[in-house]
Chain A
Amino acid sequence: MSKKTLLNSKDIEIILHRLACQLIENHNDFSNTVLIGLQPRGSYFANRLAELLKNEYQIKNLQLGFLDITFFRDDFRRRDAPLAATATEIDFLVEGKNVVIIDDVLYSGRSIRAALTAMQSYGRPEKIELLVLIDRRFSRHLPIQPNYRGRQVDAINEEKVLVNWKGIHKKDAVYIEYK
């Protein structure tokens, strides 16, 4: 098994700033916008982006939630390993809001499909957008595309994209792992 660095911490820093600016361009002061990180790994990314928006771009009253999609997945009883849930923390209603769903890697699109269904439990949003750090092109099972992407990669199915965040892992980095 070998590992190649796709993004180093400097690349990620630049991408985070760019994505923050793109969000501000479309959502102004975020008064009617909420960010939802997908548990567990999308939440690390969502947290970092929210910190940046608050500290560097002076966005106040930013609403951030974390959504667990375990019970909405379409592979219940179809996979060997059982699914373990993580916590959902959304203490606001998404009714009438612009929602930005945040995840680290967009692969088959099935997680996002589950997230769209799960979102319905919290009301009817005005609009839902998707923001991902890594968009794995050519591997989609569903017609789902991101509105904001950090980097697009053409990884093949046997390869795995690993996203590390400082604070949780050693440092910020994105790797491609070959089996």
Chain B
Amino acid sequence: MSELSVENLLGIKYLKTADIDLIFKTADHFKEVINRPIKKVPSLRDITIANLFFENSTRTKLSFELAEKRLSADVINFSAAQSSVKKGETLIDTVNNILAMKVDIVVLRHASVGAGVFLSKHVNAKIINAGDGTHEHPTQALLDSYSIREKLGNVKGKKIVIVGDILHSRVALSNIFALQLQGAEVKVCGPTTLIPKYISSLGVTVETNLKKALEWCDVANVLRVQNERMDVNYFPSTREYTQLFGINQEILDNLDKKIVIMHPGPINRGVEITSDVADSNNSIILNQVENGVAVRMAVIYLLAQQVKR
């Protein structure tokens, strides 16, 4: 297969295993490109991409922008904070105005679940979901799997535990879909209040004891507690959360094997993960960031192939 089965990247749940294989194979080539002395290819020089970020982001936005520039696309950036959205403009109007400037691909981050799907039905451009509320963050899940594949050789048959705030995490949901599609086993671990009620219907097991979860897994993907999405208190105190679900070097030393530590960022050092763990040899946090550019280049390249001339 040399073409994606989808027209937009709205979520992992719309992808097939072959799509993920194709994205990873293409990303391998781009990883080689971004390690060259001159890290740029001219493939997308007649493509214009709009990065629409209706929600704050540093890493994802920079990563997308860099990926687009490495492919020689023209890029326009938009963040809601400085825009007419504040003046009451609707999402469709904002985007259609931007598309009137002849944009081919839209990278969208939005606080509302399904914003990408909604937009894809109303505007004539390729949509890449860069995070829609607590729903999906497909490129993050792809780069996480890509990093696991790079570190361990394969995702199939591996045991991955996702630790932390599962309830508010789009990274968790996309990761669950992506890992299962590639034949990995997934467990989630966190306070019961931060684990969605029907998570087992996704074929995921739940573990509330961090030590047991870490003993089971090959890879621990550690998530941040998303205080900004919480309207009530889900656990008594940050200190208690750290004591029960924070990963420190001592816990890892007491395991009878080495496990891989991942974190999508931003890290709250000393809360869900201590500095020595985040900076240790077991951690592939910075590899994730590097791979993020290669994987996003692959996604953009493959979608741009479908843009009609």
Contact = CB atoms under 8 A, between A and B. Distances in A.
Contact of B2 (A71, A81, A117, A120): A81
A145 to B, nearest CB: 24
Interface in A68-86: 68, 70-73, 76-78, 81-85
A82 B3 contact: yes
B37 interface: yes
Interface in A51-102: 68, 70-73, 76-78, 81-85, 87-88, 93
A121 interface: yes
A178 interface: no
Given A68-B29, A77-B307, A87-B29, A82 B2 contact: yes
Contact of B32 (A76, A81, A88): A88
A146 B301 CA distance: 32
Secondary structure of the B contact surface, majority rule: loop
Nearest to A90: B36
Contacts of A82: 2-3, 305
B309 interface: yes
Contacts of A78: 309
A73 B26 CA distance: 16
Contact of A122 (B2, B37, B71): B37
A68 B26 CA distance: 13
Interface string A109-153: 000000001101111000000000000000000000000000000
Contacts of A120: 38
B36 A122 contact: yes
B38 A121 contact: yes
Contacts of A117: 42
A79 to B, nearest CB: 10
A73 B307 CA distance: 16
Contact of B36 (A76, A81, A121): A121
A117 B41 CA distance: 9
Contacts of B39: 121
B40 interface: yes
B56 interface: no
B55 to A, nearest CB: 31
Contacts of B304: 76-77
A87 B307 contact: no
A85 B305 contact: no
Interface string B9-41: 000000000000000001011001100111111
Contacts of A87: 28-29, 32
A50 to B, nearest CB: 21
Contacts of B3: 82
Contact of A71 (B28, B37, B38, B43): B43
Contacts of B42: 71-72, 117
A73 B46 CA distance: 13
Given A77-B307, A81-B2, A88-B29, 13 more contacts: A70-B29, A71-B29, A71-B43, A72-B42, A72-B43, A77-B46, A77-B309, A82-B2, A118-B41, A121-B33, A121-B37, A121-B41, A122-B36
26 contacts: A71-B33, A71-B42, A71-B43, A71-B71, A71-B301, A72-B42, A72-B43, A76-B43, A76-B304, A77-B46, A77-B309, A82-B2, A83-B305, A85-B26, A85-B29, A87-B32, A88-B29, A88-B32, A93-B37, A118-B41, A121-B33, A121-B37, A121-B38, A121-B41, A122-B36, A122-B38
